[in-house]
Structure 1
């Protein structure tokens, strides 16, 4: 059965007149008759008894009537639901993002997104970089925000900006009096950082090893907030992506430019290349790409 056939059946069943049903549906009586005939043939029997004077439902037609009404309501609801999704009046976006990004940069972007699309809902999974990649690859989320992955990830990466690592020290540390600091000087103090397999930790170790510098870790933690609080209390120093600067300051730590070597890496949106985004996810993707925060291309 098609929606057109069901509508034709209901129109005739309600009026018991092919002429009136044809006017209601803007169909000629011959076209309406052909539609009903096709429906009857597909079902295997007559739905209407027709004489020159009247039209009535057969027992099978009577049985079909309540079913047809429910089918048409479900059909109309499905059409309405999809129209709302395509017109961004309804829908949900699933997003995975590194906690540092989700906490520090995502809120103002989502504010802009919800101002433009107040009826769209967003589910945020704030997980470590490796889990962001895994969730996008396994299609558990439509969008991911992470550091640029290795080519072997087989995901599409759309760069938002390049994040440069900064030094994080206690506000009352003598180092806080400097405008900038280099790695050899920073590493003279006890170093506090995230535990493996954090991408931040791995990035630091790889860049420093390339410059014959060793990262000797005094304290390590799974949480950025814990690292920041430990540094703020004078237990050591750290290095964090620049997107964490505001968070580190709120925890009482001081951030400054860090160089020799400069550690940086692009951050962007991950999508699965063979998966078309929903209308809601595409809207969030476009909001992220056009965010003024990333217009300079670097934090």
Structure 2
């Protein structure tokens, strides 16, 4: 049996039960006494039971009213708590942010960004994954992730892109590598060094490999990797072991733990990649996700100014 009683009606019932007086309850609810009486009558009609016995001196609950009282208190309390939770969610004070990011960026900006964001928003939870660019876009399109932090996708209308930062590609080599002999510390190196030294490359399919292959093609160079690896950390280890030199995005350099490695700028025109927030076209972000993206924009701006 479906009973059509609203939370507003239950709230009015509770006010009358607490006050024991229709006039006082109407004043607390900011309605007229006739309007409150109509509300009670509609409630009683919906329940099929009288809720109050009234005389000239007092208002008392009927047996049905006493039975309804704890039920009404529980329903109104749970409704108010649920609406409070919803308000906190819509205001960005509660919720879950699902973000996926390129592995080369995860340590440089995301971990610190989450830490500082959670300090100000302690009730926000995060689900974070790191994946190659093609997998990232697929997870956003499926709805598994809310936002991706990755390279700018093709303009095919599926995704929206919001710029976060411009990342530069740099040469990474050992501090004693021959390519540095006679070169000042602040001088850029020629891309031609890859004609003379073994090249440690990222694997085909990664965003780094796509960008570096494009850079060589623009310069009319054919560079065959001596070695390939799937992660920045492994690339750093192989370069540190003397197996060659590599090209890595500057933002990924914190992932390199080897003390014998250095980075050098490559000659103009510099090779860069545009990094930003990618979302599915037409899909709205939660307030928490939107605020987190704005927080990362502030951090990225500070990084560029430092």
TM-score (norm 2): 0.84
Quick one: which of 247, 263, 267 aligns to 1:255? 263
Counting only pairs closer than 5 Å after superposition, residues 67-78 of structure 1 correspond to structure 2 as: 67-78=71-82
Using a 3 Å threshold, how does the CA distance of structure 1 residues 24 and 262 change in structure 2: closer, same or farther? closer
Using a 3 Å threshold, how does the CA distance of structure 1 residues 16 and 184 change in structure 2: closer, same or farther? same
| Count of residues paired in the alignment | 296
Answer yes or no: is 1:193 the counterpart of 2:201: yes
Deviation digits for residues 122-174 of structure 1, max 9, x if unmatched? 33222222222222222222221111111126211111222121111122212
Alignment-derived partner of residue 224 in structure 1: 232
Q: 2:124 touches 2:288 (CA, 8 Å); kept in 1?
A: yes
Report the Cα offset of residue 263 of structure 1. 2.4
Alignment-derived partner of residue 174 in structure 1: 178
Provide the secondary structure at the position in 2 that maps to 1:180.
coil
Deviation digits for residues 76-123 of structure 1, max 9, x if unmatched? 111221232344433332211112111112234334433443443333
Alignment-derived partner of residue 45 in structure 1: 48
Counting only pairs closer than 5 Å after superposition, residues 1-299 of structure 1 correspond to structure 2 as: 1-41=5-45, 43=46, 45-52=48-55, 55-57=59-61, 60-152=64-156, 154-177=158-181, 178=183, 179-248=187-256, 250=258, 252-259=260-267, 262-291=270-299, 292-293=301-302, 295=304
Using a 3 Å threshold, how does the CA distance of structure 1 residues 20 and 261 change in structure 2: closer, same or farther? closer
Task: State the alpha-carbon separation in 2 of the partners of residues 132 and 198 from structure 1.
Answer: 11
Task: State the alpha-carbon separation in 2 of the partners of residues 209 and 150 from structure 1.
Answer: 19
Using a 3 Å threshold, how does the CA distance of structure 1 residues 87 and 237 change in structure 2: closer, same or farther? same
Q: Which moved more, 1:89-98 or 1:109-118?
A: 109-118
Q: 1:160 touches 1:294 (CA, 8 Å); kept in 2?
A: no
